Chains A and B, each alone.
Chain A
Amino acid sequence: MTPRRWGLVVALLCVAAAAPAPQVSALFSRGLAPVDLGATPDADRTAAACATCHADISAEWARSRHHLAWTNGIFQREYRRQPLDWCVRCHAPLATGGAASVGPVEAEGVSCAVCHVRDGRMVAARAREGSPHDTVAVAGFDSAALCEGCHQFAFPVVNEDSTVTRYTEHPMQDTVAEFRAGAHAGTPRECLGCHGNTPAGHRFPGGHDLAAVQHAAALDVCAARPGELRLRVTNVGAGHNLPTGDLHRHFQVRAWRSTAPTALFEAFIGRAFEPAPDAGKQVRVDTSIPPLQSATWEVKLRALGGAADEPVNVELRYVYTADEEPTARNAPGEPTYLVVHEQRVDPAKVPACPR
């Protein structure tokens, strides 16, 4: 064990008797305040401190979106437009003074300490036997109750001084509520049942992981009748709606012939918003697909242009931003979409849809 590792363990042991076990609901303020680690030494707030003993987990986390919560280009582009301290509280939760206080440690985003350290003690689902840490077992730590600290919140009421001290009643990110209302409610470990399984573990694969999204969303094509395709998207594997999370996220279902791009068929799957009377926004249209449900569209081949025997491209695309194809000046520096499924079908060979 290196001296640095012992430093962390000692620091976490020293205050063991002082603080009561926190409630899982108290670990996060849902964006109304930064995460307070209390007496934890600065050096032990870093992911590197944890990596000395937990190299595998740390490596998983290093590849996660949690690690990129502050630095990813999509967030940074949105933040530059509306730099609210409220955003910082989930994207760089250890920053106690807004964006100005984001240094290398805070820029690690949702790091180990954000979830696992409070008041100088480890917090986790259970205290493992033989662990050198003073670990507080927090009831519900491995449940959706933890995740909703950042993944379930309403539109904020932005005060005149750009602060946020309360929310409207209209959800901005509704992931946990969708899960609890859906067919997979009650699944063991809830969110972690999909997003926290080994071997990915602390990589928490989700909307930016092709395999995870392919596992969640199925795209089927069949012939509804002569000259007409039926496209169906089914939420086969997600416990929440598809899409979920950020308000700009949406799916696009597309069908087109390559020689006739302007005759493109497109369907939007997601939520569209409008300003709410009081503050924030409210849902105007919601076409997101709940767990185990489907959405279908029928597309006339003739409307797609091109030659009658030309194959048809069918695609399901997950788009993270409001502008799917940003201009060079506004590009966030990372992909704005993920092609989830794509196929090129011969209209004459498409199987008939089941009755």
Chain B
Amino acid sequence: MRRLVPLLLLGLAPGAVRADGAIERRLHADSADASSFLWTDWNKFQENYHPLYAVDDDPATAWVEGAAGGGAGEWVRFNVTRLDGASAVRLRIRNGYQKSSALWKANARVREVTVTLLPSGTRVKATLTDTEGWQELRVEQPAGPLEAIQLTADSVYAGTRYTDLCISDVELYVTSATRDNPVVEKAKLERVLAWKGDRVAAARMFKDAAAGQIPIAPGYTLAASAGRESPVPARGPFGGALVALADLRTHPTEPGLRAPEAEMALAVAGFESGFAGWTPVQAVANDTRPVPAVDGLAPAALWNCYEGPPVWGDATDGSASGTVELPIAGTLGFLRADGVGTFAVSQAPTVAAAIEADLGVCAKPTPHILAWAKTAPATASSPARLEALLTVGCGTLEVREGRERVSVPQLLVYDTTGKLSLLVGGTYATAFGWRGEGAGAVLSDARRVSAGSATIRMTERKAP
């Protein structure tokens, strides 16, 4: 502990340049961790109390801790652009839930706080006032690296109604000799606001009673683990997909997600035969609502063929480092066999021609979906059942030299109850798990395997 008393604000004036060339600049965080945050699913994806809401420049939102008790001992940490030669941090804090005076009084506020600068470990204790609006703290350290700033609540001012401890906003100003790069900091705030916007949009969709059941769990997390080298070499036109399937089959068993053996066998047979005997169809989703694209679960996109799926972890809590792709068609209907209508077409292109994107329908920047179906025939006890759908999303993208036609093939395999169980792309395979049955079933679990890349596990987040 370097200092036992708060250092209030008597540093350099904003913008002043110190003798060593260091200047004070504002940093934005697009990654934040916390000891806990309050979980409520009344508004589904929005998760109003995530720690990133303390750095969104909006007093109407807040980080709210979610532990039992009054909040003492809880902490929030903001990961910032690494700076060298950082010698001082000035924090402006909106203490409490400052959406309104009523909410501010109703919830707990931080009383004594320890500010820790990382990685140096420099710590300062201070006492915040029990007032609305901004208040400031200043922490100094010997000039050195700075990567994160942590606030730990040592004691609290109790709320009149709730025990939840809140901080609406924290602004971070760091004095450092490192070159000032506003582009990076501006982009970080924009990412936080985009993250917030996506979640608000998804929450609206889940909240809308008219929308009905959404077949995706309302909250989930993604975690990445080191990938493995391919157990078999890629061969043939679908070599990458077959390698991913082989990798998925040999992946260590994890609780809660079975290996979809029958579906994988069907997929392998389809790839190895070049989908011979599959019926070219027009696939139409009965449920045309868009798939919510939040927190790393999102429809594939044409751009993925160049860039791979987007990385989501940087903009949320850092736990994920990739995306679990859903059907490129982008509508909820494709998540279930009974959500897709298939109509045989007479003059269909070959699968190879579709993958080559060598078709007039592939001229637009939005994907055109071509499909081939494998259907289990009707029996005395059950009607015909869609077992699998090979979809090829093709389109034309603007690239460096002009325009280029591209395609994204995906094989969707449904289990015997009609739920999407396996999705295989050009170089990856994803097994899905569902919670519940029938109309109320929700996609709640996934494991995405891609040879040589990180394995991504999606698990449902449940209220504590």
Using a CB–CB cutoff of 8 Å, the interface residues on chain A facing chain B are: 78, 81-82, 84, 155-156, 158, 160, 172, 247-248, 254, 256-262, 264, 274-276, 279-281, 306-307, 309-311, 313, 324-325, 327, 329-330, 339, 344
A279 lies within 8 A of B402 (CB): yes
CB distance from B72 to the nearest CB of A (A): 32
- A160 close to B358 (CB less than 8 A): yes
Q: Name the interface residues of B398-414: CB closer than 8 Å to any CB of A.
A: 398-404
- A261 and B186 CA atoms in complex are apart in Å by 6
Complex Cα spacing A227 to B307, Å: 44
Q: Contacts A160-B358, A262-B189 given; indicate if A306 touches B402 (C-beta within 8 A).
A: no
Q: Is the CB of A329 within 8 A of B311?
A: yes
Residue of A nearest to B21 (CB): A344
For the complex, give the distance between the alpha carbons of A313 and B400 in Å.
33
B102 within 8 A of A: no
Cβ of B403 and Cβ of A275 under 8 Å apart? Answer: yes
The verdict on B14 contacting chain A, using a C-beta distance below 8 Å, is yes
Question: B26: shortest Cβ distance to chain A, in Å?
Answer: 5
Q: Whole-angstrom distance between the alpha carbons of A172 and B179 in the complex? A: 33
A256 to B179, alpha carbons, bound, how many Å? 13
Contacting A at CB under 8 A, from B292-329, are 306-308, 311, 314
Are A275 and B398 within 8 A (Cβ)?
yes
Contacting pair A261 B401 (CB below 8 A): no
Chain A residues whose C-beta falls within 8 Å of the C-beta of B182 in the assembled complex: 254, 256, 258, 261-262, 264, 313
What CA separation (Å) do A352 and B1 show in the bound complex?
50
Q: Which residue of A lies closest to B189 (CB)?
A: A262
With a CB–CB cut-off of 8 A, which chain A residues contact B352? none
Interface residue? B463 (CB, 8 A): no
**How far is the CB of B310 from the nearest CB of chain A, in Å?**
9
Minimum CB–CB distance from B22 to chain A (whole Å) comes to: 11
CB-CB < 8 A to B404: which residues of A?
Answer: 82, 158
- Asked if B271 lies at the interface with its beta carbon under 8 angstroms from chain A, I say no
- A155 and B186 form a contact (CB under 8 A): no
Tell whether B183 is near chain A: CB-to-CB under 8 Å.
Answer: yes
Which of B14, B23, B402 meets A280, CB within 8 Å? B402
Q: Which of A247, A259, A281 contacts B173 (CB 8 A)?
A: A259
Q: Would B15 and A307 count as touching, CB distance under 8 A?
A: yes
User: Is chain B's binding surface mostly helix, strand, loop or mixed?
Assistant: mixed
**Residues of A contacting B439 in the complex (Cβ-Cβ under 8 angstroms):** none
Indicate whether B130 reaches chain A with its CB closer than 8 angstroms: no
Size bin of chain B's contact surface: 20 to 34
Counting CB contacts under 8 A, is B368 at the interface?
no
Closest Cβ of chain B to A252, distance in Å, is 8
Scan residues 407-457 of chain B and give those whose CB is less than 8 A from a CB of chain A: none
CB distance from B64 to the nearest CB of A (A): 25
The answer to whether A262 touches B15 (Cβ under 8 A) is no
A-B contact pairs, 22 of them (CB 8 A): A155-B401, A155-B402, A156-B401, A256-B182, A258-B23, A258-B26, A259-B24, A259-B25, A259-B26, A260-B26, A261-B180, A261-B185, A262-B182, A262-B186, A276-B402, A279-B403, A307-B14, A313-B180, A313-B182, A324-B183, A327-B314, A344-B17
Q: Given contacts A172-B401, A313-B182, A325-B184, could you give 8 more A-B pairs where the C-beta distance is less than 8 Å?
A: A81-B399, A81-B400, A257-B14, A258-B15, A259-B25, A262-B189, A279-B402, A307-B14
Smallest beta-carbon distance B412→chain A, Å: 27
State whether A327 touches B400 (Cβ < 8 A): no
- Residue from A248, A258, A264, A281 within 8 A of B24 (CB atoms): A258
**A residues less than 8 Å from B28 (CB atoms):** 261-262
Cβ–Cβ < 8 Å partners of A256 in chain B: 182
Asked whether, in the complex, the Cβ of B401 is within 8 Å of the Cβ of A325, the reply is no
Is B19 an interface position by the 8 A CB rule? no
The residue among B15, B25, B399 with the most chain A CB atoms within 10 A of its own CB is B15
B179 to chain A: which residues have CB within 8 Å?
339
Tell me the complex Cα distance, A236–B180, Å: 27
- What's the Cα separation between A172 and B13 when bound, in Å? 48
Q: Does B187 interact with chain A (Cβ within 8 Å)?
A: yes
Contact B14–A78 (Cβ < 8 Å):
no
| A309→B186 CA distance, assembly (Å) | 22
Q: Decide: A158 and B17 in contact? CB cutoff 8 A.
A: no
Cβ A81 vs Cβ B186 within 8 A: no
Nearest chain A CB to B56 CB, angstrom units? 12
In the bound complex, CA of A260 to CA of B186 (Å):
9
Given the interface pairs A307-B15, A311-B17, the reply to whether A258 lies near B401 with Cβ below 8 Å is no
Q: Are A330 and B307 in contact (CB under 8 A)?
A: yes
A325 touches B15 (CB 8 A): no
Q: Which 5 residue pairs spanning A and B have beta carbons closest together?
A: A310-B15, A261-B182, A258-B25, A261-B185, A280-B402
Residues of B within 8 A of A81 (CB): 306, 399-400
Chain B contacts for A84, CB-based, 8 A:
401
Knowing A258-B25, A261-B25 are in contact, say whether A78-B400 is a contact too (CB < 8 A).
Answer: yes
Beta-carbon contact of A275 and B183 below 8 Å: no
Closest-by-CB residue of B relative to A172 is B401
Q: How close is B177's CB to chain A, nearest CB, in angstroms?
A: 12
B63 to chain A, nearest CB (A): 20
Bound-state Cα–Cα, A276 to B401, Å: 10
